[in-house]
Structure 1
Amino acid sequence: MSDDHVYLTLAEGHDDDTRWAYGTGFEDPLHGVDTTVPDGVDRAELAALCLALGDDALVSAQRLADWTTRAPELEEEMALANIGLDLLGQARLLYARCGQADGTGRHEDTYAYFRDAADFRNVTLAEVPNGDFAFSMARLLVLSSWRLAHFERLAASPDPVLAAIAAKGVKELTYHRQYAAEWVVRLGDGTEESHRRMRAGLELTVPYLGELFSAFDGQDDVVAVLRQVTDAAGLPLPAWQPGAGTGRSGEHTEHLAPLLAELQSVARAHPGATW
């Protein structure tokens, strides 16, 4: 199967003409939106979900930023930076909704810059170091496939704000998944060395699926995508063990704290500063 075939097949069922309309306020990403939490929606559950998904996006965006000046080509550097910006935008929206749902009214910056590692609820796969390009593409494929399946379901959320955030994210995540799939196929079906590296990248990534699936029940959809891509790449899909991970409960690897220290350094050194 060619790269283009994989790209087009994964894109089926997604409307490229989808439009999303929110306010344009920079300080408030939900400016102009009716943010009333509907009756019957559990505010605590909504806040917890938005926080976890926001943390996934923020930490993933920071890891993608590590590729700046280090990607194999300028085009890939720009693509990875733009994917990171998409995720950063999702994090802003989700943190803003979290602050409204939990009743604290906390600003997005409070969630991003003024919490310690133990307060973050991102899945572990998002925080581990980039490794080589093959591992990063394997991780991007797994995380974007998982997050896309999650957002497709959340687009029908009883909370209209979360539903709108998810609907916007579906379009972005479809591209993220397509981009990663193309690279997995290209490397897996390339030279002997690229095949070896891509296989190793998958073997390092797939064991985290147990944690992802414990946080969301869309296993069948995600596995179907991963098998489609790995089959096209001539790669086996490694086995994984089911089970809950620790990221959602605030137990992280030793890699998260240094990542956050870099991310938060300016905000903590100059709290309340604007520029």
Structure 2
Amino acid sequence: MGVETIRKPADTRVAVKPAFDLALRMGDNALILAQRNAAWCGHAPALEEDIALANVALDLIGQAKLWLGYAGELEGEGRSADDLAFLRDGREFRNVLLVETPNGDFGQTTMRQWLYDSWHHFMLEGLKASSDERIVEIAEKSAKEVAYHLERSTDLVIRLGDGTDESHKRMQDALDYLWPFARELDVADDADRAIAAAGIGPDLASVAEKALAYRSEALSQATLTAPTDAVPRKGGKAGVHSEAFGFMLAEMQVLQRTHPGVKW
């Protein structure tokens, strides 16, 4: 069975199990998307959306805490969820590039959320059948929140896509830009294949099929067209991130990096 190696702070290497890979990836996706959404607090175009984005961010932070907490237990090196969130370097993060893309305008933020939600929902449904009981528990809890996230983001994509000429253009531009990033969610690497082979998580191809079917129906209602020749933008799951991610991570980690071990 293939396993991935991750560089630890002490510059040693440790083979990680499929369950650790999965927990780390799911936790990092949730954490980084939460950080991006939280930046809208006080800046959204309407009070209702300001509150909604903050609530979605809080849900994702709660999920990140569960996933990263479990990853720390599996690693067995005494690192907590906080340690994994605030004391890792950029190359150690395993989130997909989609969730770290800059917020852009409200249309781009909405489209990014929807593309992730429409994968996240079906991924969690698959994880409910995991051979790992803890993963099943986290997936079942998270799925209740993500069902709301998907309902909300789908409604916005349809309303804005099939809205005014301006809102339609912004949503189409956002879709054209983000679609290649979303495809990284569907491309399996060695770790993904090991996760599926061990029964820890579903085969990504089956998740992708369901997500694409859902997206096709919603995009039809939104009068939006997905690119047909988009090449996947990938690298995040291997620790290769964007320049924008580095700036975001520095902002997110500054307190713990400046005052190690600080507590409120």
TM range (shorter): 0.7 to 0.9
Q: Is 2:163 aligned against 1:190?
A: yes
The partner residue of 2:210 within 209, 215, 221 is: 221
**Paired residues, what number?**
234
- 1:239 corresponds to 2:228: yes
The answer as to 2:50 corresponding to 1:60 is: no
The alpha carbon displacement at 1:105 in A equals 2.9
Distance in 2 (CA, whole Å) between partners of 1:212 and 1:43 is 21
Report the TM-score, using the length of structure 2 for normalisation.
0.85
Distance 1:105 1:43 in 2: 15
In 1, Cα distance between equivalents of 2:114 and 2:131: 28
Q: Determine whether 1:115 maps to 2:88.
A: yes
Instruction: Determine helix, strand or coil for the equivalent of 2:91.
Output: helix
**Where does structure 1 differ by over 3 angstroms across 4 or more consecutive aligned residues?**
240-244
What TM-score comes out, normalization by structure 1 length? Answer: 0.82
The question of whether the paired residues in 2 share the 8 Å contact of 1:149 and 1:222 is answered with yes
Give per-residue Cα distances to partners, 1:55-100, cap 9 Å, x unaligned: 1010000000111111001110100000011110110000111111
Consecutive unaligned residues of structure 1, counting only runs of 5 or more, are 1-41
Q: Which amino acid aligns with 2:213?
A: A
Return 167-176 or 57-66, whichever deviates more. 167-176
Alpha-carbon shift at residue 157 of structure 1 (Å): 0.9
2:105 to 124, 132, 136: 132
- CA deviation after TM superposition for structure 1 residue 132, in Å: 0.8
| Contact 1:209–1:240, Cα closer than 8 Å, also in 2 | no
**Matching residue of 1:252:** 241
Match of 1:157 among 130, 133, 145: 130
1:265 aligns with: 254
Deviations 1:193-222 (A, max 9, x none): 111111111111111232110143211111
| AA at the equivalent of 1:262 | E
- Identity in percent: 41
User: How many Å apart are 1:274 and its aligned residue?
Assistant: 1.2
Corresponding residue of 2:79: 106
Aligned twin of 1:86: 59
CA distance in 1, matches of 2:98, 2:229: 14
In 1, distance between residues paired with 2:240 and 2:225? 31
Structure 2 equivalent of residue 16 of structure 1: none
